[in-house]
Amino acid sequence: MKKHLIFLMMLVSISNSYAQKQQGTSAMGAQGFQGVAVYESKTSTPDMKSRFSGNREITPEMQKSIEERMKKMLEKTFILNFDKAASIYKEDEKLDAPGQNNGGFRMMSSMMGGGGTYYKNVKEKTFSVDKEFMGKEFLVKDTLPKLQWKLEGETKQIGGYTCYKATAVKQVARSDFRNFRQKKQEETKDAKDKKEEKTEDKKTNFMDDFEMPKEVNVTAWYAPEIPVNQGPEGYWGLPGLILEVSDDKTVILCSKIVLNSKEKAAIKAPTKGKVVTQKEYDEIVTTKMEEMQEQFKRGGSRPGIRIGN
């Protein structure tokens, strides 16, 4: 009898401990569950100094200004509001100094992953994001890309959460200029001669030395303790919130998480802008950038910016 009593007491103790541990998880399953995560995004800066050398139109002051602007565009803070079905991911934008003309900067920031609201519905497997390009507003609506995640056994701690590693190969959107890579060019005599020819040309376009890959390797770290199928940007599809994700250029790391706050955010899809698919938007951006590049090489004025109807 005594043995049975001890066993019963142990069983009750284990049950109570398990119930306490599951309290947070059960709260997530309750109706109205919502969370907010803050992410810091940083993209490695391309080697601009070597690109500027020999270009007589770019002064040291201009070079410094461009590098500072590039750093600002490539280091961003984002807020992810999420529930079980959907999320919105938006840049925590800083106020610009008064009197500055930032139209072009906003466009470039958008091309570098910032600006707009990225909405994704993991239940319906769709996304929509509003983009500004060449003074025109677009609403990119499409099916969420399905990454073939490979779940690894490796773990690490992020903000007190045990996170598990997952890897995948992602197709690159041609309108995402964060993925530009410097071309690997062997320093042969012919290559050196071509460089010397370029330095004699005032209208040298340093973008000629960069290229866009078709795909990139991605590493993600997800927390099963937060069992939602969500993550920053277009990342999703893992059995837990993605707290860190990186390719060889950009790292996005979660710095803060708040679950079931009293203040709930409205998780709604953006509605403004001309509706296009991701492929259509990529074609619009790349076509216009190619036109601008050719115009620059010829030394002419800026091409027209009329896009669509």
Residues 115-142 have pLDDT tens digits of 689 999 999 999 999 998 888 999 999 9
Q: What is the pLDDT of residue 38?
A: 97
- Report the mean per-residue pLDDT for the chain: 76
Q: What is the DSSP letter of 203?
A: T
Compute the Cα dihedral for 300, 301, 303, 304 and give only its sign.
Answer: negative
Q: d(Cα 214, Cα 173) in Å, to the nearest integer?
A: 8
Residue 223 and residue 241 in contact, taking contact as beta carbons nearer than 8 Å: yes
Looking at per-residue pLDDT, the higher value among 83 and 33 belongs to 83
Bridge partners, 156 (sequence order): 163
Residue 286 and residue 276 in contact, taking contact as beta carbons nearer than 8 Å: no
Q: Are strands 136-143 and 274-276 parallel, antiparallel or unpaired?
A: parallel
What is the residue whose two structure tokens read 């955010």?
Answer: 265
Q: What is the pLDDT of residue 102?
A: 53
Q: At what angle do helices 103-111 and 60-74 cross, to 10 degrees?
A: 50
Per-residue pLDDT tens for 256-275? Answer: 999 988 888 899 999 999 99
Q: d(Cα 199, Cα 80) in Å, to the nearest integer?
A: 45
Per-residue b/e over 180-214, b at no fewer than 16 CB within 10 Å?
A: beeeeeeeeeeeeeeeeebeeeeebbbeebeeeee
pLDDT confidence band for 113 (50 / 70 / 90): low
Q: What is the DSSP letter of 6?
A: H
**303 C-beta neighbours (distance < 10 Å), count:** 15
- For 164, half-sphere exposure in the C-beta direction (CA atoms, 13 angstrom radius) is 15
Compute the Cα dihedral for 132, 134, 140, 144 and give only its sign.
Answer: negative
Q: What is the DSSP letter of 116?
A: S
- The predicted model gives 298-309 an average pLDDT of 51
Per-residue pLDDT tens for 10-44? Answer: 433 434 433 433 444 444 544 578 999 999 999 88
